Structures are given as structure tokens and as C-alpha cells.
Amino acid sequence: MKNRGFTLIEVMIVLALFGAIVAFGVPRLFKKDNNIKAIARNFVVMSREIRNKARLTNSTYRIAVSMEPNEEKYWIERANGLQTVDLKAAEKEKEDKKTDDAPPPLFKIDKTVKEKTLPKGLRISSVETINMKAPQTTGTAYIYFFPEGFVEAAAVQISNDKVTWTLVFNPLTGQADVIEKAQSLKDIQR
């Protein structure tokens, strides 16, 4: 007579394997640091790509970072040729966007790189560049990439309820480095 079915030992082995997979896999899915890692990785890859585009197309690019509550996102803008970093002109450009009779903006959104929205629970707590007097925590901040391959030195802080990471943009190499704690640009440059 043939027995059909599974033995108790076979069932217990399968359940133990399933339990081990769940025990190791589920916490990683819900870990908030993974979201910060993904955003940091995206910034690192994007900065390398933008720096190369700026050099190849002889254009000035900038990462625009919106820090408005519940609308935290970032995108890429482009202007032909070499443009200088002028904070007053950037403010005027923001004001001109609100009026209908304003001249066309110098920087236009680059549609080749998709706008990114931060996942729920994450926020960009500050953006600081070498040209700012103090870190910016509201509104829209910009990080510039120039045709010569230079990048405006900057620090972007991404945080959730527990952790803050700082992305540091190197002005000579254009590389974005990740520091797993909150640091200001002035502290990093010392």
C-alpha cells in the first residue's frame, strides 16, 4: 500500500524555511533607511549624469529641489551656455513665473530626466550651497552644474523621523558623496 502525502518532518522543514525567509525578508521591506538609501543613490547617479550632460552639450544644468511640505520633489533644469549663479536673479525668476507678461525663463525643465517625488515619510530638510548665506529649509533651492565640468559645492540633507543623511556635491569632480549623519557644508569644507 502506497502512502500519499507529506510526512510530518517534510511539512516542518518547509514551514521552518518559510519562517526563516519571512523573518529575514519582511523587516527589510519596511525599513525606512532603505528609502533614504534609494534617494541618495538616485542623487549620486543623477549628479554624475547631469555633469556629463553639461559638459557634452555646453549647457548649464541645475537640480531644483522643492522643500514645500507634502510636495517635496526634485527635477532638472537646463540653460544654454555658461550661466552664473545669481541668487537674486533666481528669486526674480520665481516672481516672474507668477506674472503673465514676464520674459521667458532662462532655465527650462529638462524632460529627459523625470521629476522625482520623495516617498512618504522622507523630506529634504535643508539645501546649502557655497553661495548661500545660510541653509535653505523652505521653497525651492538650486544646485548648479557648469559646462566646464564644475559643480556648485552643496550639501543636501534628507531625513525621516529617525535619521538624517547628507549628500555632499564636490565642486571639482561633480561626485555626490553620502554622509550618514547631518552635517553642514561649512563643517565639511574645514
In the chain, what are the domain boundaries? Answer: 33-189
For the chain, residues with pLDDT lower than 70 are: 1-3, 26-34, 85-104, 189-190
Q: Is the dihedral of CA 182, 184, 188, 190 positive or negative?
A: negative
Spatial contact of 161 and 121, defined as CB atoms under 8 Å apart: yes
Q: Which CATH class is domain 33-189?
A: alpha beta
Name which of 118, 113, 116 is nearest 36 in CA terms. 118
User: Residue 87: what pLDDT?
Assistant: 55
| C-alpha cell read off for 47 | 549628479
Distance CA 44, CA 176 (A): 5
Distance CA 18, CA 38 (A): 27
3-state DSSP: the chain helix, strand, coil percent, rounded to 5? 35, 25, 40
Amino acid at 84: T
φ, ψ of residue 122 in degrees (nearest 5): -105, 150
